[in-house]
Chain A
């Protein structure tokens, strides 16, 4: 299952913002009373790709193919088994705890589940302001101001800070999640299926918001999704993942118009036609 890696047109000259090399994440299967390791689930098995500054890379594949694990492993939320993740040339897996903590300011994540990703016992203001507090970037009135600005930028209103997550709708909650990810002014945001839990009409609102924010803050996205239509809409380049491997990657037009791998063709064939004949 070798990936057909085609050269991309954009950003070949400059060093990429994020360079993932031969990334592997295995989960041990333990059985019996002694919890002996009987084997491994190779969730991510030799994945390589890069993301240039200001670019959106789509990572597409079916449920369980390991795309979410890729995102989590890059952020060191799940330990990697082997491979390298270079962020501006620095290998994230070799950083100490405090170095990594500092670097976390530059890379954030937006989650799929707008319910589970917000602490139900915290007011929205605390949720969005937490990153600033953790890194000691703002306090008191300044923090309140920043949180209000962030909420407003994401299409909510400053007074929303006083409320609790359960009082918001799915789309609004996703906006809160985006505001939290933006709080540290990151360079890279991993969007882990940010729209798959939302209604189609709300999906487009959120996608448009993400696009606006990308222009405004020169963000790079790793956009994880199983929805080829969404990927097509937002991505500059696309990597197709199947069973822990990347089977094909290239520019959006190459992948959409001229898929090489059988799995990519199958994925494209599954996209519903807006005007079927």
Chain B
């Protein structure tokens, strides 16, 4: 997940104008750094595939069971443990509930958990990282030692401990994931801030007399967001994974709410004679994780610092 990828971009670069004075004509189209990144992102085929996968998941999450003739919760014992058929493309579970419908409903839970947890982690992590990176000193030390505590535990184990302590429920699960992720966000923001704050445009802002709040909000934050966005995308997939793992262990989503991890858990008993109950939730998890990761990879390439520094 943390490999540094280098893709040759020589053919895409406009001629380097730094040394010569023949640069901008008055009529050229304005190219903002964001637009440059977007152009590069669009060029990535895998990124496009990933984005489409994520888009599909979002649509399903919003629409949920409305796309299905069945109800995710109503039981029908006459069709219990049916294998995949035209009527039930992903089979039915032991209570005769249509599994495809439950998977769609589970998408909503997974997306809700991952998006809310990631946004929460950004809301906590970005200000802490800015303070730790910009001021350093005692505040920075305290924040970073707190982060170290989070990093001292394996992710899943810490999530398990937090949820077990707070009580097994969806909000607590989201909170636990956010607490774990914010540590990563703080570290990334802090490191970027420490490098950006040494650059001369920050010094120029100080020479002008801009206040710290202005410098942080307008000069530093926009320049540290790219790595944070990339990391957040990977966090989205990791959150889906953690949600599934904890639900599988019975500490996340509670029955009868369908969740991919919970469905996997419930399928264990019937794995030998109803394997579709295990396979389809597993495929759903793979699909979501893959989609977010492909998108994240393309975003990382698009936000390549070599482009934004030019």
Contact = CB atoms under 8 A, between A and B. Distances in A.
Contacts of B9: none
Interface stretch (A154-162, A223-231, A233-241): A154-162
Interface residues of A, number: 47
Instruction: Tell me if B's interface is mostly helix, strand, loop or mixed.
Output: loop
A1 interface: no
A121 B305 CA distance: 12
A172 B201 contact: no
A220 interface: no
- Across the A-B interface, give the 10 residue pairs with the lowest CB-CB distance, nearest first: A169-B23, A117-B200, A121-B222, A104-B209, A101-B209, A131-B208, A119-B201, A116-B200, A171-B21, A111-B200
A118 B208 CA distance: 13
B219 A77 contact: no
7 contacts: A104-B207, A111-B200, A122-B218, A164-B31, A167-B24, A167-B30, A180-B208
Contacts of A108: 207-208
Interface stretch (B12-20, B70-78, B184-192): B12-20
A108 B203 CA distance: 11
B199 to A, nearest CB: 5
Interface of B: 17-24, 26, 28, 30-33, 199-201, 203-211, 214, 218-219, 222-223, 308-310
A134 B210 contact: yes
Contact of A184 (B26, B201, B208, B218): B208
Contacts of B219: 119
Given A120-B33, A164-B31, A169 B209 contact: no
A163 B33 CA distance: 10
A109 B204 contact: yes
Given A164-B32, A166-B33, A167-B31, A134 B23 contact: no
Contacts of B24: 160, 163, 167-169, 172
Interface in A83-101: 100-101
Interface string A138-172: 00000000000000000001011011101111111
A130 B200 contact: no
B26 A118 contact: no
Of residues B22, B24, B208, which shows the largest number of chain A Cβ atoms within 10 Å of its Cβ? B208
A77 B26 contact: no
Contacts of B30: 162-164, 167
A105 interface: yes
A83 B249 CA distance: 67
A75 B206 CA distance: 9
A171 B26 CA distance: 16
A206 B282 CA distance: 64
A87 to B, nearest CB: 14
Contacts of B200: 111-113, 116-117
A53 interface: no
B201 A117 contact: yes
Contacts of A170: 18-19, 21
A213 interface: no
A118 B206 CA distance: 13
Contacts of B19: 169-170, 199
B226 to A, nearest CB: 10
B21 A130 contact: no
Nearest to A100: B209
A162 B28 CA distance: 11
Contacts of B211: 134
Nearest to B207: A109
Given A164-B33, A167-B31, A104 B208 contact: yes
B44 to A, nearest CB: 21
A202 interface: yes
B223 A168 contact: no
Nearest to B199: A116
Nearest to A183: B208
Nearest to B31: A167
Nearest to B307: A166
A268 interface: no
A160 B27 CA distance: 10
Contact of B309 (A77, A105, A115): A115
Contacts of A30: none
Given A104-B208, A117-B201, A172-B24, 16 more contacts: A115-B310, A116-B201, A119-B219, A120-B33, A120-B308, A157-B26, A160-B24, A160-B26, A162-B30, A164-B33, A166-B31, A166-B33, A166-B308, A172-B23, A177-B204, A202-B21
